[in-house]
Amino acid sequence: MLTRSRSRWGMPCLVLIAMTSVGVSPARGGWKAGVARGKITPVEPMWMAGYGGRDKPAQSTLQDLWVKALALEDAAGHRVVVVTTDLLGLPRSISRNVCGQLESTYGLKRDDVMLTSSHTHCGPVLRGALYDIYPLDDARRARVEAYSTTLERKMVETVRQALERLSPATVSAAQGTAGFAVNRRENRPEGDVPKLRKAGKLRGPTDHAVPVLRVLDPDGALRAVVIGYACHCTTLSFYQWCGDYAGYAQEYIEQRHEGMTALFYAGCGADQNPLPRRTVELAQDYGRQLADAVDAVLARPGETLEPVVRTAFTERELALGKLPDRAALEQKAEKGAAYEKRWAERMLGKLDRGEKRITAYPYPIQAWRLGERQLWIALGGEVVVDYALRLKKELGDAIWVTGYANDVMAYIPSLRVLEEGGYEGDSSMRVYGMPTIWAESVEERVVSGVHAMVAKVKAPSRK
């Protein structure tokens, strides 16, 4: 059992160093921060999201699921909120409802709210998301709808509490590393991974960065950390609610630093897995590795961020490729896997009713600049690691790139992955209920959209 002690960055002699280095005592007109959490573990048996092979609802709870919110206010009174959830991913219907309520009730513009998920595969199915995977009858769908409505209320309430708790704080940024994410497209079978890791022969691109946003009280106590990592939360695949490695990482950090809140978001880990996997012990070990990486960051001064935040948000149309014709749909309906049959039958129903199938999708892209230099990009969907690596090359290694943000509608392959095909570039689109794969313009549309948002949050030049 981990010991619980209030963090003050070490012995008293070290506290003075930390306070001097990161500017713990905020000046008048500095940052304000507020943090809150709410339990979102389902109380009724529900179907679980993430794996098509499950054949029954969840049976019990191993670890509670949470929504957490960190509100920040800069020196000019500009307020922003980042929300993290122990869920597979928030669909557009939920994110739009939540953001609409936050704007009408608390005046938070769409640019100023970042909704994220850990992408745990041990959370519940949400309204309108991945319905073709699961054998959901009317009663099961009604339960999903009821939970989703409750979730929206809980998210809004958690943000309200965070806003009410705004008080002076110091905010700093840093970055660590954790090495357990493995490129799952390039390293098969999974059983070979420990041997390949030991020999230094793992293949394929990865992003092992651990971004850390640190929030301190005026007396130097740790109030909150927001952390990210580019890796699927797929260590576990059983029938118990659990936050997977991300849930354990948050739990361990909070145990080590009593009285604070740890918030986790998933990075561009759509083609990254925690390998090996499938045991609770491994999920706990990966969570411990991530917590250790965060503690290593907390042991040294971060870069204090000036109390100013700039935000931008857009929905950019991403074109889809050629739509399958009736013959192709009928073939899937007859010979496809169970989820493909449900998908094809739904698509055939649209054709029979004369309904138009979509040919593009409004894709969310968000950019925040905290202080003068810290860029934080948030992208919708399951984003492959190529995007984070490219954006860091073009915008600087210190940027943070969040995936699974604001809307999770499908996988977002790079052009390389799209051309290679496979699950992330092709068959996953049917899992998500999309009519076809993305057009070849997908990567350039996303990246150019990021650059446009970054230009909007550019710090003004100093004369």
25-47 residue pLDDT tens: 334 579 999 999 999 999 989 99
- Give kind and range of the element (H or E) at residue 80: strand 79-85
Based on the structure, what is the number of domains in the chain?
Answer: 2
Indicate the pLDDT class of residue 135, thresholds 50, 70 and 90.
confident
Phi, psi of 224 (to 5 degrees): -160, 155
Residue 167 lies in a domain: yes
Indicate the pLDDT class of residue 190, thresholds 50, 70 and 90.
confident
Strands of 167-168's sheet in order across = 113-115, 79-85, 66-73, 32-39, 167-168
**What domain range includes position 58?**
12-315+361-456
Alpha carbon distance 113, 99 (integer Å): 7
Q: Quote the tokens at residue 282.
A: 């491994």
Q: Is the same domain home to 70 and 137? A: yes
Q: What pLDDT, on a 0 to 100 scale, did the predictor assign at position 161?
A: 98
Q: Is the same domain home to 345 and 209? A: no
- Asked whether residue 235 carries a pLDDT value surpassing 60, the answer given is yes
Q: In the chain, pLDDT over 70 holds for what percent of residues?
A: 93
Q: Is the same domain home to 395 and 378? A: yes
Residue 5 lies in a domain: no
Residue 7 lies in a domain: no
Among left, alpha and beta (phi > 0; psi -120 to 50; other), residue 381 is left
Please name which of 33, 40, 143, 150 lies closest in space to residue 85, comparing C-alpha atoms: 40
Residue 446 lies in a domain: yes
- Asked whether residue 166 carries a pLDDT value surpassing 90, the answer given is yes
- Asked whether residue 18 carries a pLDDT value surpassing 80, the answer given is no
